[in-house]
Structure 1
Amino acid sequence: MVNNTTIERRGNIEAVNIERPKILSPVIASIPHGSSCITSEMKNSMIQNVLLTNNDWFLNDLYDFLYKLNITKISANYSRYVVDVNRNINKKHIEGDYTESLIYHKTTFSKNIYKNSLPNIVVENRIKEFYEPYHTCLLNEINNSLKEWNKVYLLDLHSFYAQSTADVVLGTCGGSTCSYEFFHSVYKAFVDEGFTVKVDEKGLKGGYIVSHYSSIENVEAMQIEIRYTTYIEDRYFGEEEVYHKDDMLFNKTKERLQRVLKNIVKIVEK
């Protein structure tokens, strides 16, 4: 149950979920890839039996405690495969590797997703219905928090498997998205909870969200990636869609993350 929290959905298709506590901390969390939902339009255009791999599985459940810490959470209600809100809109016509595309035409295992190229009207509709509402909501929440706090700290939350063997990877775009003081506080909070931590690993250096919003005055941003083996299950992950998790591991990691975020909030509110 979400206490003292407003849940909002924007757009006709409920593209974005906002959990906003009545008492705001200066910390905002963004979860752009936590949903695996796709639209009927997308489903009808896809090649049969294609696997939509490497979502940020179970991430909304993993961070369902954020409201307890008065952290505002903005999350996308549709899959990154519909449109990736963590990409620059200028990439909307790129159909190459998924790392370069606003709308993926290939999976993260380089398998074709669609029978044919998507018409421009489909691309534009997805941007209007899913991409733009996410960024409108995120910017609004940042501006709301800036009215209450001198500085706002944006945490962009993700998960991964292959790019590193660390439990957690912090992405700062080479130190350009936040101060050393904030980075050190986050790094120490994870290390103190026993997580192994790396910084700016290849492919996990920070995406569009942290690079874009950290350019706003008095906003610092960091991408936080947690490895599948740290919270889902300690095993090999291949080309698959994930439906099951090790509940004991999951709950233990959630408790540790709650302590991490609590310490971060305590430090930045000083």
Structure 2
Amino acid sequence: MAGAVLGRRRGDGVAADAADRRRRGPGRLLLRRAGRQGGCAAGRVRRAAGVPAGGLPGVRLRRGRRPPLPLAEPGPAGRRRGRAPRVLVSGDPGCGAVATVHLDAPPALVLSVPHGGTLVPTRCAEGLRVPPEQLWSDWRTAELLDLSADLVVPAVVARLSRFVADPNRAPVEPLHGDFWSTAVPARDPVGAPLYDRPLTAEELQYRLELAHVPFHRALDRALAAALHRHPRVLLLDMHSFGLPLGVDVVLGDGGGSTAGRGASEQVERAFRQQGFTVAWNLRFTGGHIVRRWANDHRVDALQVEVNQRLHLNSSDVEAARPNPRPDAAGWLTTRRALAGVIGSLVRSVC
């Protein structure tokens, strides 16, 4: 059963968990290189780039038209678990704020992708000092997780840019300010102003209702559906990074507060078996999405950061160019390796 496999987090009264969490505190690098048993050898690829794969301001979905399925394609009959997924769109009908991969019989694993979107509605683009298509994003994260023909997992994918409203920031005052801490950033990652003027309270509320609320509502529903079938569920909040951290994957658990020891070890093992090097809480310790579930002991939540140098053009990543190009070999290798990680976790937590 999932509950037995995933284990318990710190605070459940298990001394081993507490000691393990202290050992893996924030900023403590646990770098482990996989052996040659990994099937996809992602550790041999060390290149990348980062770019927005989204739309332009004012781009709108036609009524009745579904967004592209972000995480799965039809596969051979009989190999997929459960029925074919339904792709639902919630939020403002003109924008399609959130794409949701829904399964009638979900496994004990849910993915969230809050920063892969690039769409900026016309109203939200007013006053921007930079072209909306150049706003920073976890470039191509949703496409990278277009896993495989025979594997489907529940997923919640933001289609709007994080600069509309960031689902991975708590919707608390101040709402508008620093990129790294506010739900509606007024500045870019290096501190440059994004707008000609501060946004009004009405504009901030509009953005939260357009992008932030629908994302978390969809994620709540996905987790509730999985918990209806399983006593314990694993949430992986998927991101990518361009910083030169010297590691393939950074796993964040809030310094030991958002996932149990068993689940954390399981996820690390799945990545190492596919050839990734792994660090814990290095620069990225987990944001609002995983911390929001820290007090629900039925959910083990981890933030997963994948090095863009694995799958994107390295010169584009180093220069922080918008819309970076995929690396021809690295893209396919990393995509297959991530499919192996997800497949391994689906089998182990169900």
Distance apart, 1:217 and its partner CA: 3.6
Partner residue of 1:17 out of 99, 111, 122: 99
Structure 2 gaps of 5+ residues are 1-71, 75-83
Tell me, what secondary structure is at the counterpart of 2:164? Answer: coil
2:170 maps to 88
Q: Deviations over 1:118-171 (max 9, x none)?
A: 111110001111111111111111111111111111000000011622110000
1:53 to 1:15, Cα distance in 2 relative to 1, 3 A: closer
CA contact (8 A) 1:160 1:226 kept: yes
The aligned amino acid for 2:314 is D
Partner residue of 1:234 out of 314, 323, 333: 314
1:167 maps to 248
CA contact (8 A) 2:171 2:182 kept: no
Structure 1 gaps of 5+ residues are none
TM-score, with normalisation over the residues of structure 2?
A: 0.72
1:219 maps to 299
TM-score, with normalisation over the residues of structure 1?
A: 0.93
Tell me, what secondary structure is at the counterpart of 1:98? Answer: coil
2:122 maps to 40
Q: What does 1:106-255 align with in structure 2 at a 5 Å threshold? A: 106-162=187-243, 164-202=245-283, 204-235=284-315, 236-255=317-336
Q: Percentage identity across aligned positions?
A: 24
CA contact (8 A) 1:92 1:123 kept: no
CA contact (8 A) 1:173 1:206 kept: yes
Q: Relative contact order, CA 8 A, sep 6+: which one is greater?
A: 2
Q: What does 1:257-268 align with in structure 2 at a 5 Å threshold? A: 257-268=338-349
Residues paired across the two proteins, number: 267
Distance apart, 1:50 and its partner CA: 7.7
Q: Deviations over 1:183-218 (max 9, x none)?
A: 11111111111111110012x110010010232241
Distance apart, 1:266 and its partner CA: 1.3
Distance 2:136 2:278 in 1: 21
Higher radius of gyration, 1 or 2: 2
Could you say which structure has the higher helix fraction? Answer: 1
Distance 2:173 2:246 in 1: 30
The aligned amino acid for 1:187 is E
Q: Which consecutive aligned stretches of 4+ in structure 1 deviate over 6 angstroms post-superposition?
A: none
| Residue 154 (structure 2) pairs with residue 60 (structure 1) | no
1:48 to 1:61, Cα distance in 2 relative to 1, 3 A: closer
Distance apart, 1:92 and its partner CA: 4.7
